[in-house]
Amino acid sequence: DPKQKELKINRLKDNSEYTLTYDKLLLSTGSSPFVPNPELLKFPNVFTLWNIPDVDNITAYIKEHQPKKAVVVGAGFIGLEMVENLAKKNIEVTLIEMADQVMPPFDPDMAKLIANYVANQNVKLMLSTGFNDLKNNGKTVVTSTNEEIDTDLIILSIGVRPNSQLAKDANLELNQRGGIKVDRFMQTSDPDIYAVGDAIEVNDYTLGNKVMVPLAGPANKQGRSVSANILGLEEEPYAGTLGTSIAKIFDLSVASVGASEKILQRNGLKYKEDYFVTIIHPMSHAGYYPGATAMTLKLIYAKDGKVLGAQIVGYEGVDKRIDTIATAMHFKANVKNLAELELAYAPPYSSAKDPVNFAGYTAKNFLEGLTDPVTYQEYQANKDVYTLLDIRENPEFMAKQLDDAIHIPLSELRNRLDELDPQKHYLTFCSVGLRGYVAERVLKQNNFTVSNLLGGLRTMEELEEDITNINSSKNYFEQSHAEDMTNIGSSQVDNSSNSNSIKETQIEILDVCGLSCPGPIVQVAKAIQEINDGDILDIRATDPGFSKDIESWAKNTGNTLLEKTEGKGQFNAKIQKGLGHIQNKVVPNQEISLTENK
């Protein structure tokens, strides 16, 4: 009763009631998992996950019933984390999601990287597919497309709703989603009632509009602020939330901060009018120090250079980069500030130019008119405008060719300018973008009309990867040691008729971990020339592009790919020299004058 400043309390232990009075009241009622039909929870194999008792219940059910198949509904933070943990228990998992992407805070292009990775863990991923009903006593899931999925266990992770019924009963002002409206001091429409946490709406720190962000970090900071305000200490206004978040999905780390393109467009902002993006593929630390792995970093910034948001997908070092950008955004940083940040450097931890610096550099290059980046989506929508110019070196070209692209290696570009038509608009591309930018600058200085494909061939391949039918002869669910992630996604690509060839021939180990394009393929091309026909080259790499390139490279050069495995950000392959048939016309190996290690 707000007028009487009284609370009626129900003691659950004995169902008795008593009354408390208050001077100031703080509501921290949180949120609850959304369940489309509460009747679903009557089935003993249907669970939601929100707290430790939920975890205990799921664990106990798995221990008792030993389920073989599970369906997870919802591909957000909780859904994806549940997929990982169920898969590690040798349970075959199907993940269904109504949206056309996983991880709602991410833009579709970055979410595609996550979806590709999850699908390659032998998780059946069904996007644009909603949950419709249960039948067969909870043992069959019926989807929105009327597909039926047999299952032993169901996890509902569809989303959350604010627990605001108490606020509603007190006639406090709520938003359309049921969130409690508060001012910057966490004060509700009743001056003696405050609220914090998942149940409230707050200011978007980047855009200034109202949002609901059910994250523990902001909730705890709101608790600190509101305590000072209630107790009459020095006032602590809550400025708003950046929505900084991170999740571990198998070996992958995915993180975001600030506004996504989706949010900006929802607020009426337009790409290349109000905001811009850059996409880079740096290594987690110096490539020449062991253990470096790749990440993809997308930075979103305004036309005045203000940093609006970022998303990162990778294996190592994702957390500290997203935290660095979040800190910079808190202090209203622009891309020039990112480029100037002096961050701790030693080879085991970073590069002399940190990935955050690189993101700042590339954005700054655009704002200063040095480059005209084109996203993959722009290229797809305007293919008739551009003539593709592949400036990768010959060993890389053997791995993958685009039919409609002109190929001139960067190391030969200055001497072959007369082969290009000044009337055409060229779109340069390399493996990850850096050499494409260098080629763009060379051509601009020679009066060509030219742009650079943002993110290079790696981004193109990720966005074009078909994950509807992921085939792997070594099923992750059938591994005897589910906790050993070494051979996740393992695939026997080609078995020679000589089944004992690996044992009978010489095996040479080639470690190209830490090298980025074109390093791994170039080193493979050199090493294969130094071994005898029939010998095996056992390659270890950390460049994600290597996993895609090596199979086609082997086919195009007449070598045989015997095995390809991946796990924990490392990609392994065994190639037998010769024994294959050349699939395409190849070009000779050549030394290159510029490497790309970023």
Given a contact cutoff of 8 angstroms between Cβ atoms, the answer to whether 340 and 356 are in contact is no
- CATH number for 35-158 (one of 3.40.50.620, 3.50.50.60, 3.30.830.10, 3.40.50.720): it is 3.50.50.60
User: Above 70 in pLDDT, residue 593?
Assistant: no
Fold of 245-367: FAD/NAD(P)-binding domain (3.50.50)
- The predicted model gives 271-281 an average pLDDT of 97
Instruction: Indicate the domain borders of the chain.
Output: 6-31+162-230, 35-158, 245-367, 373-464, 484-576
pLDDT digits (tens, 9 = 90+) for 124-151: 999 999 999 999 999 999 999 999 999 9
Helix (H, G, I), strand (E, B) or coil at 389: strand
- The predicted model gives 549-558 an average pLDDT of 85
CATH number of 373-464: 3.40.250.10
- The predicted model gives 311-321 an average pLDDT of 97
Kindly give the residue spans of alpha helices, DSSP state H, lying in 231-270.
Answer: 261-266
Helix (H, G, I), strand (E, B) or coil at 198: helix
Give the separation between CA 310 and CA 323, rounded to whole angstroms: 10
Give the separation between CA 503 and CA 481, rounded to whole angstroms: 24
Can you state the angle between helices 544-557 and 456-464, rounded to 10 degrees?
A: 90
- Length, in residues, of the chain: 598
Mean pLDDT of the chain: 89
Rounded alpha-carbon distances, angstroms, from residue 82 to 55, 156, 213, 484: 10, 10, 21, 18
* Global pTM value: 0.85
User: Above 50 in pLDDT, residue 487?
Assistant: no
User: Above 80 in pLDDT, residue 568?
Assistant: no
- The predicted model gives 399-421 an average pLDDT of 95
User: Above 50 in pLDDT, residue 500?
Assistant: no
Decide yes or no: CATH 3.20.20.70 for domain 6-31+162-230: no
| pLDDT at position 581 | 53
User: Above 50 in pLDDT, residue 475?
Assistant: no
pLDDT digits (tens, 9 = 90+) for 239-262: 999 999 999 999 999 999 999 999
Tokens at 5, concatenated: 């400043």
Q: Which of 394, 416, 438, 396 is nearest to 591 (CA)?
A: 394
User: Above 80 in pLDDT, residue 542?
Assistant: yes
- The predicted model gives 13-21 an average pLDDT of 92
- The predicted model gives 379-402 an average pLDDT of 93
Given a contact cutoff of 8 angstroms between Cβ atoms, the answer to whether 109 and 376 are in contact is yes
In the chain, the percentage of residues whose pLDDT exceeds 90 is: 75
Which residues have CB under 8 Å from 285's CB, separation 6+? 291, 292, 316, 317, 347, 348, 349, 350, 351
Tokens at 344, concatenated: 């701790």
User: Above 70 in pLDDT, residue 592?
Assistant: no
Rounded alpha-carbon distances, angstroms, from residue 195 to 161, 526, 533: 16, 65, 73
Which residues have CB under 8 Å from 53's CB, separation 6+? none
| pLDDT at position 155 | 97
Confidence tier at 352 by pLDDT (50, 70, 90): very high
Give the separation between CA 250 and CA 24, rounded to whole angstroms: 45
Kindly give the residue spans of alpha helices, DSSP state H, lying in 171-211.
Answer: none
Tokens at 188, concatenated: 């509700």
Decide yes or no: CATH 3.30.1360.30 for domain 484-576: no
pLDDT digits (tens, 9 = 90+) for 197-225: 999 999 999 999 999 999 999 999 999 99
373-464: same fold as 35-158? no
Please count the helices (runs of H) and the strands (runs of E) in the chain.
Answer: 17, 30
Give the separation between CA 299 and CA 354, rounded to whole angstroms: 14
Given a contact cutoff of 8 angstroms between Cβ atoms, the answer to whether 437 and 430 are in contact is no
Q: Which of 13-27, 57-71, 384-398, 468-482 has the lowest mean pLDDT?
A: 468-482
Cα 365 to its chain centre, rounded Å, is 25
